[in-house]
Structure 1
Amino acid sequence: MKDGFIRVASVSPDIRVCDVAYNKESIKDAIKKEWDEGSSIIVFPELCLTSYTCNDLFFQDILIKEAKHALKEIVEFSSGHKSIIFIGLPWDFKGKLYNVAAVISNGILLGLINKLNLPNYGEFYEARYFNRGFKEPVWVNFFDDVIPMGTNILFECSNVPNLIIAGEICEDLWVPNPPSVEHALAGANILINCSASNDIVGKMSYRDNLISNHSKKLISAYIYANAGEGESTQDLVFGGQGIIAENGKILAKSTRFKNEAVRIEIDVNRLVLERRKQTTFEQGDEDGYFKSEFELEPVELELKRNFDSKPFVPDDMSKRKERCEEILTIQALGLKKRLLHTGAKNVILGISGGLDSTLALLVCAKTFDMLGFDKSGIRAVTMPGFGTTDRTYNNACELPESFGATLEEISIVESIKRHFLDINHDINIKNITYENAQARERTQILMDIANRDNGLVVGTGDLSELVLGWATYNGDHMSMYGVNASIPKTLVRHLVNYYADTTDDKKIANILYDILDTPVSPELLPPENGKIAQKTEDLVGPYELHDFFLYNALRFGFMPSKIYRMAKKAFAGEYESEVILKWLKVFYSRFFSQQFKRSALPDGPKVGSIAISPRGDLRMPSDACKTLWMEDLELIKV
């Protein structure tokens, strides 16, 4: 339960139609296995104690009574185990039959969730047997106890803050206004569904989309357990597919047409933080809801759940073209609007032979295509200095010309030497003054050329650099429009690689591949034996780590110690724990100390869910203290 991770399971057990004793033992065996696996929330299918396909045998009193006795045995079996279990069965109340899910925890029957929406069409005739459930709970007898029965029941965990569960049954999800909508608005962030949904061609993808989208809309986890093999195949076949989704993403899914369990950790902490940020998700009224408390075993899990080590890079390669073109188009449309508004016909950008300026050039080319402008209006300026190598210089010269842009070369060596004399700086002292003076000289040149040519300076700095403050204030930090401002370094690389893979121009492709193979560097220090001496990732840390850190810190607001735990899982086999912790400390230290640069950022288009514009997405005080975050990291024992 540490960091909000709770292991949950969706189980489709082996059952037999109307064989309650067999089904009871099968369910007990499955429960015991899930306890061994560390599952805290266990969900079984609809009516699985009897089977869903009993049809008119639901009218047989012996079946209903035997199901209640079997439930009593399972409740007693659960004693001593702090988990919560959902099991479907038929229930007799005041001479009427109801389709319910029994909720069990540690030897107690906490309540019965009844089904509101009964299908009575096609192959389903539930209304022939069952009565429509009711929302507000009533008290019903269960041997020597009385328990709540209804739809509006919230199951609150007493020892896991903010863990609230509610449920619905099969068809309830498929209607226009599912009960789970009210449950979520009343505070439930984990929703369960005991289901018996038959399989036909095309239904799997529909079901997947329905559940993932529903969990996204409700900012919740959704645990769906479906009836499987063992149900009658007289007219229908049941595929037994279990699905566990969280906030729009399916985390785990069992094998279709096979009775099995699927389990994974859901992140309750993430759901709580998402709802906290989403101000349009308004907490509803809890009136009419009964609250039932339960307790879970406090265990620290070894996570089965995987975390994407490159959260900004599209993981569905089948949609690579669509996603990359979408990103490039958003960047280009932002620049297009700025050019039209200002009346500028030219763009000016510094071209270094590195990834960031390369992506900016690609965006400028796309923008000029949209506007129908001649690409000679793209004024690419290469400004070799003390650290420029032949490799980056050649790429900086060849790439713009391959696009038909205008290339201008202005060496900054002599002007910087003169500047050092003016400010009384020894050129042999290669410190921050030595480096930043070059960056500011380059920016001054670009700004003055923009005045000369009636153009706009296009910024090339990316999101990763800006989050870390790896930019010279009023140097590469400044522009008239920053097209890469919300593009992290890992995504910059992906976009350039995509362009290289898909362009028909082999010369451009070869240049881009060489740029991709070049170490990231500002090239502000003299080269060693003609090679780049100043490698950014040796100084500030690997960008793939920093992009993982910034995604989870800014997107969700996770604690540093939780991000460290996730990073260890995401980068297992790539980085040692000590290395991850080292650079995570660097990340937080730089993130807090460099906010003053982000507070003065120029305009730039928001592309993804994370941006750092001081006018909207990151309204952070420039003088905020890092103490709380660093103290959390200091408690970590590697």
Structure 2
Amino acid sequence: MENKTYSPKYDFINVAAACPVTNVCDIKFNVDNIKISILDALKENVKFIVFPELSVTSYSCGDLFLNGSFLSKAMDGIENICLFSKDKDILIAVGAPLIFKDSLYNAAFIIYEGKILGIVPKSFVPNYSEFYEKRWFSEGLHIKNEEVNLNFQKNIPFGVDLIFNSYPFNFGIEVCEDLWVTIPPSSYLSLKGANIIANLSASNEIVSKASYRKDLVKSQSGRCVCGYVYSSAGVFESSSDLLFSGHLLIGENGSILKENERFERKGNIIVSSIDVDKLIKERIKNTSFKDNERNISFHVREIEFSFKNLDFKMNRSIEKHPFVPHNINARNDRCKEIFNIQSSALAKRMIHTGLKKAVLGISGGLDSTLALLVIVKTFDLLNINRENIIAITMPGFGTTDRTYNNAINLCKKLGTDLREVNIVTSCLQHFKDINHDPNIHDITYENVQARERTQILMDVANKEGGIVIGTGDLSELALGWCTYNGDQMSMYSVNSSIPKTLVKFLVRYVSDEEVEEEISNILIDILDTPVSPELLPKDKEGKIVQKTEDIVGPYELHDFFLYYFSKGFSPEKILYLGEIAFEGVYGTETIHKWLQLFIKRFFTQQFKRTAMPDGPKVGSISLSPRGDWRMPSDASFNSFLGF
């Protein structure tokens, strides 16, 4: 994919975690390889690069850290890196030992354009199991509001209270063990505004430690709502007692964006783009995040600097289907969890009402199929006979043999109570009653059918003592692609927070994992059927004429728009991300066209969501007016167009 550049207003930044080749105690060798990594990072438009703990000297120097000449040469190495960085628009975090007031500190030096902006000591120095750092280093936890003078630079801010700020990018620093303690320094730094945390580390390898380390980075980036850049010492450290793997990780708000292959025997660097705009919006939304700040008395010094050039090259993938995990194993796990959430939520509603019957309209389409599968699982869970599931097929003017037969066969194989109510005659009568020409296939023609079906379901539920289960999904609610007081209404809606792109995967998951082969074959054919409300007459060959995506656009685009719009992204940024995600699938003009339609429909159809029935939230996004989305029904979309 060709990388695109764009205005810095979208607030992405490229960061790198690097593990250069080292030679224990060979400062010149180490510094030369640090320079190579910096040059490699600059080729990728990186603005912030993080090196391992004590990377100038190497971590495993032992009692040589107590040698004055060696420590002096380490400062020469830092000066060398500063001189090298003078004309380079990149923030560098590199590790070296530092003498301060007759104590030695394991420190991170933050360098930009030839100058040390600040020095951060390691807060927590481990002295247990294989670690004995207190033999050489003092804890830096108490170091605040201090300054350091070196031969080549005076009055350098020194302490754990530093945040490095080039708006809107705010960098906080911690060192190795700091991440592993009960309350890491990054927690305080994040509450004070740091949105990107660097960890300079030397974490050795033992069995299973890598997965725990990865979980730490993932969870801390989520807890702090930040980007997290982690760099650990590599295989060329001393192996006298320990082995280091050069584990590199870049996390963002609870997920891992990039990870390297450990145990590389050459210089290694990983690069990813951090979306600081998204992090800021998430912090604004998550009021509990800022509430924590009131409970701490941690004060920071902001060290300001300015990147000179914010040209950007995207260095992360943008998923076309943000609601669907890319990894197939993760996808199956997600589908299983969602299916269990849906069925457990419905089980609670059934127990609360005391009702033993469920009523739904079954069309042979994806949404009603998923709803039926959820009901079946729920009834099995509650030991209620499946014959108490009243599945009603209601063929109308546009019903095709394919969907009709799939609905009939599926219900028979699942053992439900299957009923058929043809709505053609009652709709023709209604057209007559309201003086509507049945040859005019307008919105009235369509909605009469939808409301007739809902009336049947509601009345059967009253007659049988059951509950009407809605089948509409999140994508339809976002677009308002439902008939008000028709299929928009039910007594409980199990699919209300499932986007259309995810509905397909859920049905496929059930087909693969939860049912026998004959049922699976029916589900596969349903998956292959075009999405349609089947409200307009079929063609001469009996096939579907009214294809939803021909009218409102591709659901995969609308789900993409919904995901990012609900996160607070501007239409301009959504368009930009869409160009990257759907490159080679849809052009800019097509994405722009459907994005404008999405915005207009999302605003004008809010009144339907305001009156939507109860239903479980299953993912990060829901449009329930009682939960995630509160919006006036008469809000104007004008401020969101014109992009």
- Pairwise TM-score range, normalised by the shorter structure: over 0.9
- 1:515 aligned onto 2:526: yes
- 339-348 or 405-414, which deviates more: 339-348
Specify whether residues 341 and 230 from structure 1 end up closer, same or farther in structure 2 by C-alpha distance, changes over 3 A only: closer
Q: CA deviation at 1:242?
A: 1.2
1:615-635 CA-partner distances (Å, limit 9, x unpaired): 12111100111122112x2xx
Equivalent residues in 2 for 1:178-327 (5 A)? Answer: 178-258=184-264, 259-282=267-290, 284=293, 288-327=299-338
Q: CA deviation at 1:185?
A: 1.5
Distance 1:100 1:330 in 2: 47
- 1:567 aligned onto 2:575: no
Corresponding residue SS for 1:89: strand
- 2:379 matched to which residue of 1? 368
- 1:534 matched to which residue of 2? 546
Corresponding residue SS for 2:261: coil
Contact 1:16–1:231 (CA under 8 A) maintained in structure 2: yes
1:251-296 CA-partner distances (Å, limit 9, x unpaired): 1112211130111101111111111111111252675321101111
Specify whether residues 166 and 320 from structure 1 end up closer, same or farther in structure 2 by C-alpha distance, changes over 3 A only: closer
Size of the aligned set, in residue pairs, is 628
Distance 1:245 1:71 in 2: 28
- 1:155 matched to which residue of 2? 164
Distance 1:234 1:321 in 2: 44
Specify whether residues 408 and 266 from structure 1 end up closer, same or farther in structure 2 by C-alpha distance, changes over 3 A only: same
- 1:548 matched to which residue of 2? 560
- 1:48 aligned onto 2:55: yes
Distance 2:43 2:334 in 1: 42
Contact 1:2–1:299 (CA under 8 A) maintained in structure 2: no
Contact 1:40–1:297 (CA under 8 A) maintained in structure 2: no
- 2:441 matched to which residue of 1? 430
Contact 2:357–2:466 (CA under 8 A) maintained in structure 1: yes
Contact 2:45–2:311 (CA under 8 A) maintained in structure 1: no
Contact 1:348–1:456 (CA under 8 A) maintained in structure 2: yes
Aligned partner of 2:115 among 108, 112, 118: 108
- 1:636 matched to which residue of 2? none
Distance 1:339 1:232 in 2: 64
The AA in structure 2 aligned to 1:551 is Y
Identity of aligned residues (%): 52
Distance 2:545 2:364 in 1: 15
Aligned partner of 1:32 among 18, 35, 39: 39
- 1:63 matched to which residue of 2? 70
1:563-599 CA-partner distances (Å, limit 9, x unpaired): 1111222222222222211111111111011101111
Distance 1:330 1:37 in 2: 42
Q: TM-score, normalised by structure 2?
A: 0.95
Aligned-residue RMSD, C-alpha: 1.5
Aligned partner of 1:10 among 17, 22, 27: 17
Distance 2:374 2:235 in 1: 54
- 1:600 aligned onto 2:608: no
1:111-159 CA-partner distances (Å, limit 9, x unpaired): 10001211222332211111111341301102242111111111111xx
Distance 2:9 2:232 in 1: 29
Aligned partner of 2:174 among 168, 188, 198: 168
Corresponding residue SS for 2:559: helix
Distance 1:153 1:88 in 2: 16
Contact 1:83–1:295 (CA under 8 A) maintained in structure 2: no
- 1:609 matched to which residue of 2? 620
Contact 2:474–2:500 (CA under 8 A) maintained in structure 1: yes
Distance 1:565 1:592 in 2: 21
Corresponding residue SS for 1:52: coil
- Give structure 1 stretches of 5+ with no counterpart: 634-638
Aligned partner of 1:90 among 86, 89, 97: 97
1:82-123 CA-partner distances (Å, limit 9, x unpaired): 321101001111222111010111122111000121122233
Corresponding residue SS for 2:560: helix
Corresponding residue SS for 2:608: helix
- Give structure 2 stretches of 5+ with no counterpart: 1-7
The AA in structure 2 aligned to 1:148 is P
Q: CA deviation at 1:377?
A: 1.1
Distance 2:394 2:537 in 1: 14
Equivalent residues in 2 for 1:412-431 (5 A)? Answer: 412-431=423-442
Distance 1:550 1:49 in 2: 47
- 2:509 matched to which residue of 1? 498
Distance 2:98 2:514 in 1: 65
- 1:142 matched to which residue of 2? 150
Distance 2:587 2:195 in 1: 35
The AA in structure 2 aligned to 1:278 is N
The AA in structure 2 aligned to 1:604 is G
Distance 2:225 2:299 in 1: 22
1:22-61 CA-partner distances (Å, limit 9, x unpaired): 2222212221221222100011111111111111111111
1:142-179 CA-partner distances (Å, limit 9, x unpaired): 2242111111111111xx32x21111111111112211
Distance 1:362 1:412 in 2: 24
Q: TM-score, normalised by structure 1?
A: 0.96
Tell me which stretches of 4 or more aligned residues in structure 1 moved more than 4 Å: none
The AA in structure 2 aligned to 1:570 is A
1:521-569 CA-partner distances (Å, limit 9, x unpaired): 0001111121100000111111111111111111x21111111111222
Contact 1:191–1:223 (CA under 8 A) maintained in structure 2: yes
- 469-478 or 144-153, which deviates more: 144-153
Q: CA deviation at 1:320?
A: 4.5
The AA in structure 1 aligned to 2:555 is Y
Specify whether residues 208 and 141 from structure 1 end up closer, same or farther in structure 2 by C-alpha distance, changes over 3 A only: same
Corresponding residue SS for 1:458: strand
Distance 2:615 2:472 in 1: 11
